[in-house]
Copies of this chain bind each other. A is one copy, B any other.
Amino acid sequence: MVSLKDIAAACGVSTATVSKALNDLPDISNERKQYIREKAKEMGYLPNLAARALKTNHSYNIGILFVDDKNSGLTHPHFSKVLESLKTEAESRGYDVTFINHQYGKRKTSYLEHCRYRGVDGVVIACVDFNQPEVLELINSNIPTVTIDHVFSGSAAILSDNAQGMRQLMEYILSQGHRQIAYIHGKDSAVTRERTVSFYRILEEHGIEVPDEYVREGIYNDPKEAAEQTRRLLELKNPPTCILYPDDYASMGGLAALKEAGLSVPEDISIAGFDGISIAEILEPPLTTLGQDTESIGRMAAAKLIDLIEKPKTTNQDIEKVAGTLITGRTVRKL
């Protein structure tokens, strides 16, 4: 591997000069700067990141902390898309992405330890239980953090506009004439609360009362549980004409349960998901859902974190909302 020293030798200057030339510092005459840069390119020079990191405490590496209940990791139907876009943005700014966890080699480490050990410059936190002390420890550390879908003092945040999304979805369903709308929501979390509150508010605005049995707790991304809750809803004396699921993936479980019960969607009963994962659109009929702007969420999270890393002056407490888009699909029929 060619190092600064080699270039210095080839150019007949000191390594300091080469370093400055390559980093575009003002301390070097223009012609020499050009010459050195050309020579470096010609020699195929690649800076040694380890050496640079050692000296500057800057690794060009950002961490992702992402641990959902179901341990889906990279296979999470919704977040894998966010991650993909996050990764793309990070890469385009010269950062690599490392997953943070607490199993490291033989020993358990805290998230913070893993971050320090790997020397990440910052961390994006998504989809974890934000009340875990371990997570708090990380957020309260001096490592810059950006959280997704959760606001935390001491951390910037990117939020999907769940309330507005729920509104778009509900307004559409209501416009199709539905009045008996059930909602199988996910486990309690900031996102869940936001959506649920929005759900109740919108119905109230329309003067519609919701029977308690219509609102049930399910589990995010758990089709079996969604199927189970769906069966419960079907047993009601007065079953809903439309069922909302916590997410698209769960809604597929609901769909299966309905089919098993001999009902067809949307002729006999309507359903809607949330997220807009890619499978939703290739179902027949395509799923009615609220498409989250995963591309923006991921990109903005990376961008914000890197801004925080590179210009720490930026306030640590800004929050950006990302709007979703209604995907009409065909699983909600006109009554």
Please give the residue numbers on chain A whose beta carbons come within 8 Å of chain B beta carbons, in ascending order. Answer: 1, 46-51, 53-54, 59, 72-75, 80-81, 83-84, 87-88, 91-94, 96-99, 101, 103-106, 113, 116-119, 223-224, 249, 252-253, 255-257, 259-260, 278-279, 282-284
Contacts and interface: CB of A to CB of B under 8 A. Distances in A.
A283 to B, nearest CB: 7
Copies per assembly: 2
25 contacts: A46-B116, A46-B117, A50-B50, A50-B54, A73-B87, A74-B87, A75-B80, A75-B81, A75-B278, A80-B80, A91-B99, A92-B105, A93-B105, A96-B98, A96-B99, A96-B118, A97-B98, A97-B99, A224-B282, A249-B279, A252-B282, A256-B284, A257-B284, A260-B284, A279-B279
Contacts of A46: 113, 116-117
A123 B48 CA distance: 18
Contacts of A53: 50
Contacts of A80: 74-75, 80
A249 B75 CA distance: 14
A283 B101 CA distance: 32
Lowest 3 A-B CB distances belong to which pairs? A94-B105, A256-B284, A50-B53
Nearest to A224: B282
Contacts of A48: 54, 119
